[in-house]
Amino acid sequence: MRSPIDSMTFHHRKSFPLLHAGECALLGVDHDFTIYAEEIYDDVGYIAQTAIRFSGDKLAVVDEQDDVSIVPLKVPETCIHSYSAWQTMMMNFAGARHRGLREADRVAELVQPLTIADKLALAKHIGNGIQLHQILGIAESYVLAEVRLAPTLYFVCRRLRIAYALPQLVEDEAGLGYDYDTQSIYLAHGLDLHDQTEPTLESLLTGLPEVKLFRPMDCILCRDHLFIADGGSMQTPDQPERLSHIHVWQVEGLPPSSYDESTWSQKLYD
């Protein structure tokens, strides 16, 4: 059965690079689409905040690495804020440990199984040499943020932890052996609370048009525009540095009341 969210169309409007390659979040989006973003980066956990106009001009930047006594940006009270996953928390799940011994940890019983099609799509998505036969299932699911699109339709940013078998027993720095490990992936997708079956991982990995998201971590719907904070990554031998970004899509097909924050967000979250 076709979900109502399938009738919505997402048109990519803008992408704004941030300053660093760590994690990021949305502090708020004003009605003129001015974006207030926050980054946490480096092993120290420095904080940087940026205010960006929709034109791309930066209104203000504060960065703890430059000055540890920074004053946080003042986010206008008129801004739309992101919300924790209160309505979509049924998607949260915690099973197997991050790494360990498959038999001792009963991994086969604790992970959520995947179809062959899901494993094929996942192996291609991860792309770091993990083979289809190594993938054991989903060890953890956590919704990082949600926005309401319609009465029962939500858009979420979500982290999954995928368990996979290792070819042989290895030891960590403490000398403890393990024969499975996990890897996090991040998804951004729609969700219909009335849908009795969860979408396949294969379909969720498709993402949004025109932009390949790396680590979607936060989202805000302001009027008919969807803002997603996409985390970056430091340079490694296998890949270059990737700065965090804010990506924006215009959503066509929203019911008018879905982005009237004065009528619904207070009822749900205040």
Residue 131 burial (CB count, 10 A): 11
pTM here? 0.90
Instruction: pLDDT tens for the chain, 270 residues: list them.
Output: 455 677 899 999 999 999 999 999 999 999 999 999 999 999 889 999 999 999 999 999 999 998 878 899 999 999 999 988 899 999 999 999 999 999 999 999 999 999 999 999 999 998 888 999 999 999 999 999 999 998 889 999 999 999 999 999 999 999 999 999 999 999 999 999 988 777 889 999 998 999 999 999 999 999 999 999 999 998 887 788 999 999 999 999 998 755 444 444 444 444
pLDDT of residue 68: 78
The number of domains in the chain is 1
pLDDT of residue 197: 79
78-89 residues labelled b (16+ CB within 10 A) or e (exposed): ebbebbebebbe
Asked if residue 36 is part of any domain, the answer here is no
**Across the chain, which distance is largest between two alpha carbons, in Å?**
58
Asked if residue 44 is part of any domain, the answer here is no
Asked if residue 124 is part of any domain, the answer here is yes
pLDDT of residue 2: 53
pLDDT of residue 3: 59
pLDDT of residue 14: 97
Structural domain range at position 223: 4-15+82-269
Asked if residue 206 is part of any domain, the answer here is yes
Q: What is the 3-state secondary structure (H, E, C) of the chain?
A: CCCHHHHCEEEEEEEEECCCCCEEEEEEECCCCCEEEEEEECCCCEEEEEEECCCCCEEEEEECCCCCCCCCCCCCCCCECCECCCCCHHHCEECCCCCECHHHHCHHHHCECCCHHHHHHHHHHHCCCCCHHHEEEEEEEEEEEEEEEECCEEEEEEEEEEEEEEEEEEECCCCCEEEEEEEEEEEEEEEECCCCCCCCHHHHCCCCCCCCCCCEEEEEEECCEEEEEECCECCECCECCECCEEEEEEEECCCHHHHCHHHHHHHHHC
Asked if residue 97 is part of any domain, the answer here is yes
Asked if residue 61 is part of any domain, the answer here is no
Asked if residue 30 is part of any domain, the answer here is no
Asked if residue 25 is part of any domain, the answer here is no
